[in-house]
Structure 1
Amino acid sequence: MYMEISQMTQALKERGYRITPQRLEVINIVMEKLAKKEHPTFNDILNEVKQKMPSISASTVYSVLKLLEDGGYIVSFEHNGRTYYDSTTPHINVVCTNVNKVIDLDNREIIEMLKKQGIFPTSIVVKAICAEK
């Protein structure tokens, strides 16, 4: 389940962070993409934020993403030198190396099996060759 943006901003305020228009815009874009089950890269997020706030710096976007990840609101994984951002809802990301695509799989059996072993996954990444979709 995705945390509501208002809950997230309140939690950040309680941790001493100011909610600036730039931070709010990055948060909105990231959460919108994750709600659509997209796996945005840093450049995807930066480009979209720059359309609305042309003067925003790459370091500002990076620092907001780092803040969200450090706070446990998002996770990231890497493939081919790119960092992808994702939700913390337990699921499996299949990175199709032949078509450079990421597919979400919701396999409760695997997740439950891991939990029984005392492992509580926030991100599972599987690299695979996928049939063209």
Structure 2
Amino acid sequence: MALAMDEFRRLLADRGYRVTAQRLAIYELLQENARRSHHPSAEELYQQARERFPMISPATVYNTLELLVELGLASQLGFPGDVQRYDGNPHAHANVQCVDCKTIFDVDAEALEGIGQRVAERSDFVILGQRFEFYGICPRCQERRARERTRGTERSGSRSGAADGSGAR
């Protein structure tokens, strides 16, 4: 549930959190990244926030991200072999990461809508969040791999022809 800035301010105040310019900026930056389907690390968000607030500390960014996750406005993505990344899209969707280039893609999946509610009803849990993560090879890296295989086949084919004496002189 991405919130407008006024709603975010109100949520913070209602829950007893201080409404600071830094928290607002970090939330806004996370939303901007989500609109581009980008999943930044805390370090990336820190660098982006420093452009607006040169004196901001990494701890402020980490603490705010932790708060956003707790409030259900962001989620942590923990793909193996990658730094912790954050997703500002709180709606049910799948994340797919390419194992080659490490890019993370959002995939809307209508079947996931309302799944948290259904799980809560069947388990009697209070659901705080969910993650749907897949990994594979993106189309761009598939193409790159195919080109590399083709080049490798062409090179080995030209070498094998010369080695067996059948190469023309």
Question: If the TM-score is normalised by the length of the shorter chain, which range does it land in?
Answer: 0.7 to 0.9
Distance 1:37 1:5 in 2: 20
Question: Which of the pair is proportionally richer in helix?
Answer: 2
State the TM-score, normalizing by the size of structure 1: 0.86
CA contact (8 A) 1:89 1:122 kept: no
Across the two proteins, how many residue pairs are aligned to each other? 131
Deviation string, structure 1 residues 83-127 (Cα, Å, up to 9, x no partner): 111121111100111121111111223x26x939x3377321101
Question: Which of the pair is proportionally richer in strand?
Answer: 1
State the TM-score, normalizing by the size of structure 2: 0.69
Distance 2:109 2:27 in 1: 28
2:61 counterpart residue number = 61
1:123 counterpart residue number = 131
Q: What is the one-letter code of the residue matched to 1:58?
A: P
Bigger-Rg structure (1/2): 2
Distance 1:4 1:40 in 2: 20
Any residues of structure 2 matched to 1:76-115 within 5 Å, and which? 76-79=76-79, 80-86=81-87, 87-109=89-111, 111=112, 115=115
CA contact (8 A) 1:88 1:123 kept: no
Displacement over 2 Å in runs of 4+: 118-123
**Identity value in percent:** 26
Q: Where do 5+ consecutive residues of structure 2 fail to align? A: 121-128, 142-169
Q: Where do 5+ consecutive residues of structure 1 fail to align? A: none
Deviation, 1:4, is: 1.4
